[in-house]
Structure formats: structure tokens, C-alpha cells
A and B are shown apart, each in its own frame.
Chain A
Amino acid sequence: MSPGALLSARDLRVGFATEGGLLQAVDGVSFDLAAGEVLAIVGESGSGKSVTAQTILGLTRSPNAEIGGSVKLGEVELLDASDAALRKVRGERIGMVFQDPMTSFNPVYRLGSQIVEAIRAHRGDVSKAEGRARAVELLDSVGIPDAERRVDDYPHEFSGGMRQRAMIAMALALEPEVLIADEPTTALDVTIQAQVLRLLEQLNRERGVATILITHDLGVVAEVADRVMVMYAGRVVEEGTLDEIFYDPQHPYTWGLLGSLTRLDRPRPKRLPQISGAPPSLLSLPRGCSFRPRCPHEFGKCEEMPGLEARLPDAPSHCDRCWLSPEQKREKRQVGGRIGLEAPA
């Protein structure tokens, strides 16, 4: 664990026994998260980004799950912590915000009472009245207008954006050091998304909350992240600072993701750049690099799995899994004056 890291994962592995064999959902993920830092984990469905986050909080524990490696919060190892110890960590030290604000609250209890319950579960000495006052304060701090009155509303009386903010309020109720947000804005309209992103940013700046942001949207990443991890088929294929990933991406999958983005501030291309094929089944991964079958730049060596290594001499923390040389990458990622992944015509 590097000094200054609040949360640190080393070689995290999560597999699930299925009828078709062992499904390796997460295969050797490592990262360090410092106070006040936003780490974005980017990937498609099945890339392992959500399983990574859920495993940190022990939410993937089950008889058919095989979990290996290490996740440390300070000095506490989370992977083999007891359920009682984990319950103390959840909410109190690590807060979590889920994608769907519609299904994450219990519809038959008032919002305020659910926040009070979360507080009192950890702080037995807090009275209901104190808890309620705290809930009002929290809702107010995330920008819910008229919080004093809205605290007694039921979840269905809140709009989607307000519910997501209420969920952030609940996640922050016990002032956790780490916030895990799994696709927190995916279900929201863009104008509401912008508000929620501003809120997350403010929490980072003002309270030093360390955040893991899980998303498939590189636009959202560009707005809030400090560091980025790109996942594909259970593995990290590239990681680096925000600017390294956007302006000097090393892995062809990252090029493809960047290339397929639509930009409103640029003239539109005739055809939308696409990544051909589909992500592989985790039960039958190709030999070597998992992205090989979709990669127009694959060559003989790709049948051997590249390690996640720093391959640029002047950027020791920028790592990727691609055998191409930095010079080849610089040349091949240029498609029509921008970064992209295009099958050779």
C-alpha cells in the first residue's frame, strides 16, 4: 500500500462458479485511492467494474464466489473481515451510491426515516429527533429545496434527480472517507446529471471525500475524474491520469472508446467510428489479449497476454496492456486527425 492511500486494492480477483465453469469477473485489479481523489473505473457491461466496487464492500460474498487478493481500508483488510466488521465499514467509512435511484430506497418508508435508520444503525446514541434534524441538514446540503418538509416525503414523491441526491445524502450521513458511486448519473437527464456531478465534485473539494466513480460515459469522466482505469473483460487494460488517458491513450480499446464519442463541438463525421464485434464471453476468453479479436492492430505477439506495465519512459504511473511500441501506438491511433480505432480500409 503506497503512503497516503486511503483505500488500496492488490490483485483483486473475483470469480463465480457457474454451470459453464468458473467465470472470472475480476482478474487481478490493483489501485490506490488517496483522500480527495476521484478514480474513475470505465468499462462496458461485463467488464468487471461493478463487481470490483461491490466486492470492496463485501456485497459479492456468496457460496459460489471465489474472492482473492487484498483490499485494505487503512489497516483493515476488507476481504476477510467479519460480517459485523463489514457492517461497521459500510456507511460509516465507505458510502455507496447505486445506479438506480428508483429501486434503491424502500418505497413504503419515508425518505427521512430511511436516512435516520442508517444513522442510528451506526450511532445508537443518536435520538430519533437528532437523527431527523441531521437528515434535514443532509438533504439541504445536497440541494433539496425545503428539506424540512420534504424529509417526510415518500421516495415516489421525489423526482429521479432528487432521489439520486437523497441517496448521496444518505451515503454521506456518517461522513465516510470513501464514496463509491456506481453509474450515479446514468438514469438521469443531462441537466440533472450536471447538478449531481457538481455535487460530487464539491464533496471532493470541500470534504476531501475519496471517490470511486464507476461509469461507461467518458464525458462524465472528463468532468470529474483525477485518475482513470479502463477495464475490459475483467482486467484493467489501461490506467493513468485523466489527461494521459484522453490525450495519450496507449491501448487500442481506449482509442475505440474515445473514437466512438460524439462531439457536439466538432463537425460530425460521415460515419460514426465503431468498434467491431462484441466483448468476449468471460467463460471463453480468447488466448492472450482479450481485445485481440476486435483489434485491427493485432499481430502475432498478441496471443501472449501482455502485463499491465508502464511502457512510456516519462510516465511511470501510466500503465497499459498492449504489445505495440509507443511509437507504433502514436501512429496507429491517428484516424482522420483524431484518436480512434479504425479497421484499415
Chain B
Amino acid sequence: MATAEPLIEVTDLVKHFPIKAGLLIDREVDQVRAVDGVSFSVPRGQTLGLVGESGSGKSTVCRVMLQLLAPTSGSVRFEGQEIAGLSRRQLQPLRREMQMIFQDPYASLNPRKRVGQIVGDPLKLQGVASGAELRKQVRELLDRVGLAPEHYDRYPHEFSGGQRQRIGIARAIALKPKLVVADEPVSALDVSIQAQIVNLLDDLQDELGLTYVFVAHDIGVVRHISDRIAVMHHGKIVEQGSADQVCEHPSDDYTKKLLAAVPVPDPRESRARRERAGAAG
């Protein structure tokens, strides 16, 4: 593999949230160490999977990485440029390079806006297109994510979960970003729809040369889409490596525990595993 310059590089990232107490004057009594010294880098065109249980800090990492939350300390370099600590105004032009796909397709789309507007807004806000050109680009985007042109004038509530997630994806790729951060993009979807969305993300990566940070608690899905996987636990990365390496030969105890808890969809295998566990314990 060519040692290309990473698109995004995170070094010693820390995010602590204060716990406050007191009646009139809040005093900081403790801190939640949501992200506690996390480092990773993602080469262009590749996918890093972040796995971990709820509260492990994976979503906070995403938010801090995109400067939606200010880090307590640490560095985030995007195409070599330090972006931690930049002002809103300085970040504005970078925003179009970094987009996010959210978990809940029911909560992440404005119910009062039509699909065309939802997908077109980023283009309008960044001054990329307007008028007829805007409509044309939005129709192309809808087509690209597998929606029909007549969906342009519909409202989000008229769509199923899977279709809504496609709308969210169209919005995220509208500005031709370099980095897309997907936070649990399939966990709210039905099994038969999950695979469609994962395959769509795969295709878009190939077509547009996207770089993904893909967060999920479903290790099977993460392994499928990721080149590398980082396992988070209590705000730290306890293990990272190639997707197959982490899943097949985990070295960290927590990773092993996590993998062992994933149900095996194979009754014979699952019985054998329980017997082994029973014999051992």
C-alpha cells in the first residue's frame, strides 16, 4: 500500500466534560473523560471503523474531530492543516469537505422541508448552485443514492427509514466532501435494508473517492465496510488494526470479550460455543 498522506490525522485527542455542582455558583467537582487521549489517522479513500459500546466515546470522537465540539486538548489535522481551535469563520470553508451522516433518519431530517430543499440546502448555503442549476444537481444526487426524481417535492414523513437514510446520504455528499463521518448510519434500519445502505456507501466511496469514519456498535457491519478498525473503551482506543486482524486475531482482552459476546447466527456453532464456555466456566 502506498504511504499516502492521511486525509485526517487525530493525535492525543482529549474531551472532558465538567460535572458541576452547587446551588448558586456552579463549581466543577469532577470530569467525565469522554475521550481520553485518542490517536488515529485515515488515509485518503479508506474507511476507519470505530466500534465500542454505548458510552465508550465514539460519537464524541466524531463530533470533536469535525469541530462540532471543541476539544479539551489534542490535535486534528485535515489534509495536513491543524483544525482544532479554528474559529467558526475559519472552519466555514472546511465544512464542505467534511460531512456527517446521522443515526436516526427520523430525527435528522427537518419534517417541514421538502426533500429537494433538504438535499439542496448545503449547495445553497455554500453558494455552489442556485435556481435551475441547483434543482438539476439535487435531482442527480437523488438519482445517485437510489431515489426517484419525483421524490423531490415530497416531505420526509412520506418515506421509509431506509429511504430517509438515502436522503441523509444525498445531503452529506451534495458538496462533494472528502471526509464523511457516519455515526451509526444503519443501526436504526431493518436487517434487509441495512445491507442496501452499506452497499450504497461502498459504491459512493468507489465513485467519489470518499474517506469514511464509520461508527457502529454492530461489529459485523463495521468489519464489512472498514479497512481498519479501532476499538474504543472508556474513552480510549484499546486496539486498532486491519479489519480482519482485529476481528480474527484480537490481542486486547476487551476486544476479545466484545467479539465473544456477538451472537453467532448459526445454531450449531452457537451451541458448541456455549458448551465450550460451560466447560471452561
Contact = CB atoms under 8 A, between A and B. Distances in A.
Contact of A264 (B163, B193, B247, B268): B247
B194 interface: yes
Interface in A254-303: 256-258, 260-265, 267-269, 271-276, 278-279
A60 B18 CA distance: 45
A84 interface: no
Interface residues of B, number: 41
Contacts of B193: 44, 278
B268 to A, nearest CB: 8
B224 A268 contact: yes
Given A218-B265, A223-B270, A275 B195 contact: yes
A261 B54 contact: no
B191 A272 contact: no
A219 B54 contact: no
B126 interface: no
B224 A272 contact: yes
A160 interface: yes
Contacts of A194: 261, 263
A265 B194 contact: no
Given A222-B266, A272-B195, A44 B190 contact: yes
Nearest to A271: B199
Contact of B265 (A219, A256, A272, A274): A219
A278 B160 contact: yes
Interface string A50-71: 0000000000000000000000
Interface in B245-279: 247-248, 257-259, 261-270, 274
B202 interface: yes
B223 interface: yes
Contacts of A216: 190-191
A324 B32 CA distance: 58
Given A160-B54, A278-B160, A261 B194 contact: no
Contacts of A275: 192, 195-196
A220 interface: yes
Contacts of B54: 160, 189
A268 B217 contact: no
Contacts of A262: 218, 220-221, 223-224
Nearest to A160: B54
B5 interface: no
Contact of B192 (A197, A222, A257, A267): A257
Contacts of B169: none
B143 interface: no
Interface in A206-226: 216-223
Residue among B162, B192, B248, B267 with the highest chain A CB neighbour number at 10 A: B192
A268 B244 contact: yes
A273 B192 CA distance: 9
B219 interface: yes
A242 interface: yes
B194 A260 contact: yes
Interface residues of A, number: 41
A189 to B, nearest CB: 4
A247 B267 CA distance: 9
Nearest to A219: B263
A216 B244 CA distance: 26
B53 interface: yes
A258 B163 CA distance: 22
Contacts of A99: none
Contacts of B247: 264
B198 interface: yes
A30 interface: no
Residue among A190, A222, A276 with the highest chain B CB neighbour number at 10 A: A190
A261 B269 contact: no
B127 to A, nearest CB: 36
B196 A219 contact: no
Contacts of B267: 222, 242-243, 246-247
A242 B265 CA distance: 11
A219 B263 CA distance: 5
Nearest to A260: B195
Nearest to B195: A274
B264 A265 contact: yes
A45 interface: yes
Contacts of A190: 53, 217, 219, 258, 261-263
Given A222-B263, A222-B266, A268-B223, 9 more contacts: A189-B53, A190-B219, A216-B190, A223-B263, A262-B224, A268-B243, A269-B224, A271-B202, A272-B224
14 contacts: A44-B192, A189-B53, A190-B263, A197-B263, A219-B262, A222-B264, A222-B269, A223-B274, A246-B267, A256-B192, A263-B220, A264-B248, A268-B244, A272-B195
3 tightest Cβ-Cβ pairs between the two chains A and B:
A262-B220, A219-B263, A274-B195
